[in-house]
Chains A and B, each alone.
Chain A
Amino acid sequence: MTAPIIRIDNITKSFGRLTVLDGLSMNVMPGEKLALIGPSGSGKTTILRILMTLEHINGGQIEVDGGQLFHMEKAGALVPADERHLHTMREKIGMVFQHFNLFPHKCVLDNVTLAPMLTKGVPRADAEKNAMVLLDMVGLADKAKSMPSQLSGGQKQRVAIARALALSPKIMLFDEVTSALDPELVEEVLNVMRKLAEETDMTMLLVTHEMGFAHDFADRVLFFDRGKIVEEGKPDDIFSHPKQERTQAFLRKIIAAGHRV
């Protein structure tokens, strides 16, 4: 039995008086492709943001790849992690955002090479070689010298994926990566992700409203509502035979809204 690569243990998170996650526990196995679905405000994006350390937790513990994420050991006791520890832990995790967040003042190539050069001391020539391999994989090798403002949304998002991959994280987080795209551009991004899922054994967590894609992509689907996992299981079970009333209601609403399942 292999150990989980992510172990979330009884975490809580609130923003002011609003409790978003209340005693959530879940595990993710190495190489697993996980889809997190649920209504907006259900806490699924918050989980990704917490794993990326963009948000801190108010209680509980998270273990990533054998190390504590928000805690570190000091004289035999667990104490809150300092910036240095967080920096080490972030190395294991990459994230792709809904709004791409490319660095607009840098060309596509520099967007991809910046972090490896700064955080891992990779020489420019090597970083660029690797970046070109990744840009080729996402189908944008010919755009290496373009500025982000010259790209379509779908192209920007593919660059963002290459940028995250350039640090070769063990875990990739995809936060509604197609939600900000025009419908005709969604497929090119999903294709890249399919390829990624097939060709690598990276652990991937996906928050999405694309139910059809979640069905094909994921090994396991988690349905969230109000900060709790209401139901989880294989994609076929969740999408074809949801057991919980709330899951059924959510899927009905999604289908009525015209999303593909």
Chain B
Amino acid sequence: MEWDWDFVWQIMPTLLQGFKITILATILGAAVALVIGLVFAVLRMTAPRPIARVTGFIVEFIRGTPLLVQLYFLFFVLPDIGIRLPALVAGVIGLGIHYGTYISEVYRGGIENVPRGQWEAAKATNLTTRQAWIHVILPQAIPPMIPALANYIIAMFKETPLLSAITVLELMNQAKSIANSNYRYIEPMTLVGVFFLVISLISVFFLRKLEARYSRVDER
């Protein structure tokens, strides 16, 4: 089998179409994950004990089951109880919830890493709890979280091909259908790999910059 450049140019528009969906799913999934993660983290840290424990159980449950299985449930099982989601919506929710459980731990760690003395100083200078969160705790908790958050979002990006299993026409799915109808796999699959590699490399470059910028540990 030989590499056919003409075929490459012929399938490129379709692949780009799929790639747009991949990027869209990543961005929306990341947004959902960042919000869901915050909800999980806040519930586990501040809710009354029973709610915190139930949340903890849910988080462990989601983390302990494969994303692919969760996607199947969202797309193929939920309709049995009358909830019909468009494929992309189900995919975004699945990615968002799954990665939200990981991201909640990042939030939790970041917040708990702010020394207790900071809370005490905020109180001693008579800030309200709300003011302490906004002006003292979060500004110190968030910067160290950024590299870890970015890491999870890059990981999520690379898992978006799983959405092809629930009929989302993202990059992988487009490549598969091209391959199946032309009986040529080498070009479409190679290109899928190249697309992911390029974005991953760019992301990692920026991630390193973020890490260098935010990993400086200030003395207190």
A residues near B, CB below 8 A?
52-54, 83, 87, 90-91, 93-95, 97, 99-105, 114-115, 118-119, 147-149, 163-164, 167
Contacts and interface: CB of A to CB of B under 8 A. Distances in A.
B218 A103 contact: no
B124 A148 contact: no
B125 A53 contact: no
A104 B220 contact: yes
A83 B126 CA distance: 11
A52 B118 contact: no
A114 B125 CA distance: 9
The residue in B127, B129, B140, B219 that gathers the most chain A C-beta atoms within 10 A of its C-beta is B219
A99 B126 contact: no
B140 A105 contact: yes
Contact of A54 (B115, B124, B218): B124
B218 A148 contact: yes
Contacts of B84: none
Given A101-B220, A103-B118, A149-B219, A164 B123 contact: no
Contacts of A54: 120, 123-124
A104 B120 contact: no
- Chain B interface secondary structure, helix, strand, loop or mixed? helix
Interface size class of B (residues with CB under 8 A): 20 to 34
Given A97-B117, A148-B219, A163 B123 contact: no
Given A101-B118, A103-B136, A148 B220 contact: yes
B126 A90 contact: yes
Nearest to A112: B125
Given A115-B126, A118-B127, A118-B135, A101 B218 contact: no
A164 B124 contact: yes
B206 to A, nearest CB: 23
18 contacts: A52-B123, A83-B129, A90-B124, A90-B126, A97-B124, A102-B220, A103-B136, A105-B139, A105-B218, A114-B125, A114-B135, A115-B127, A118-B135, A119-B126, A119-B128, A148-B219, A164-B124, A167-B125
A99 B140 CA distance: 17
The residue in B117, B121, B124, B135 that gathers the most chain A C-beta atoms within 10 A of its C-beta is B124
Contacts of B131: 118-119
A106 B126 CA distance: 17
A140 B120 CA distance: 24
B140 A95 contact: no
B120 A101 contact: yes
Given A97-B121, A101-B117, A101-B220, A119 B127 contact: yes
A147 B218 CA distance: 9
A101 B126 contact: no
Contacts of A164: 124-125
B140 A102 contact: no
B130 to A, nearest CB: 10
Contact of A97 (B120, B128, B129): B120
